[in-house]
Amino acid sequence: MAGHSKWANIKHRKAAADAKKGKVFTRISKEISIAAKNGGGDPDNNPRLRLAMTSARKANMSNDKITHAIKKGTGELDGQSYDELTYEGYAPHGVALIVETVTDNKNRTIADVRHCFNKYGGSLGETNSVAWNFSRKGTITIAKNDLTEDDILEHVLESGAEDFTPTDDTYIVLCGTEEFNDVQEYFNNTDLDVQEAKTDLIPGTTVNIDSVDAAKKVIKFLDKMEELDDVQNVYSNFEIDDAIAEQLSE
């Protein structure tokens, strides 16, 4: 099961963008509100809300802010009403892109997203122009510590997950969305260091970026897209050679 992952490097810059706490709190608050709007305010009966609340607590969001976001979503509090919009297209060098947004102003969001595509060398596509290449999976990130690949493989098999891939410091466990809650609960009940649990869009095929200049253009494009206020998630299908990644980190 273990081995080279086609998507292991896809979000190598995401943590840097998410480190801006204000953006993190805004993104999580919107996700909580949307989850509550679509599935109700009871996390026991709303898996998406339960996951968003877990993310909020890991980001040290206060209970008051979490409750406020839930009540906005259920309509118990007056305020902005959010809609989910998804855009597809290409970043520079043919990298496929899916951009998930949550917005209270659809015209503003499409204008911002289109401007970013045009300004930084991408192209906005039609619905399903790239979505066919992505499938949604549950991902659970486990700190390596002293955990061997044989150890994590045993847990993968016992949990009902599909696969795992090693990164420098973690193992990323993959599972189907229907099994996600059960797999997450399994790992939460172990003594393993669970760093993150979420659902991601995983590409079936990838584009290899084999030059520093190309990598910089793609990374800049993704950074600028992620900085947009209404953007929740950006998924892409590029890989960077290890040698190129090393040069970028110098």
The reported pLDDT for the residue numbered 92 is 96
Domain 82-132+206-249 class, CATH top level: alpha beta
The four Cα atoms 17, 20, 25, 26 give a dihedral, to 10 degrees, of -70
Q: Are 187 and 170 in contact (CB under 8 A)?
A: no
Structure tokens of 212?
């520093």
Please determine, for residue 18, whether its predicted confidence score (pLDDT) is greater than 90. no
Please determine, for residue 19, whether its predicted confidence score (pLDDT) is greater than 70. no
pLDDT digit string, tens, across residues 83-119: 999 999 999 999 999 999 999 999 999 999 999 999 9
Helix H or strand E encompassing 201: strand 194-203
| CATH value of 133-203 in 3.40.50.300, 3.30.70.980, 1.20.1560.10, 3.40.140.10 | 3.30.70.980
Q: What angle do CA 214, 127, 98 make, to 5 degrees?
A: 40
Q: Count of alpha carbons within 13 Å of 212, Cβ hemisphere only?
A: 7
> For residues 88 and 52, what is the distance between their CA atoms, to the nearest angstrom?
24
Look at the domain 17-74 and name its fold: Arc Repressor Mutant, subunit A (1.10.10)
pLDDT digit string, tens, across residues 172-231: 999 999 999 899 999 999 999 998 888 999 999 999 888 889 989 998 999 899 999 999
Q: Are 133 and 204 in contact (CB under 8 A)?
A: yes
**Length of the chain, in residues:** 250
Q: Same CATH fold, 82-132+206-249 and 17-74?
A: no
pLDDT digit string, tens, across residues 56-82: 888 889 999 999 999 999 989 877 788
The reported pLDDT for the residue numbered 99 is 97
- Domain ranges in the chain? 17-74, 82-132+206-249, 133-203
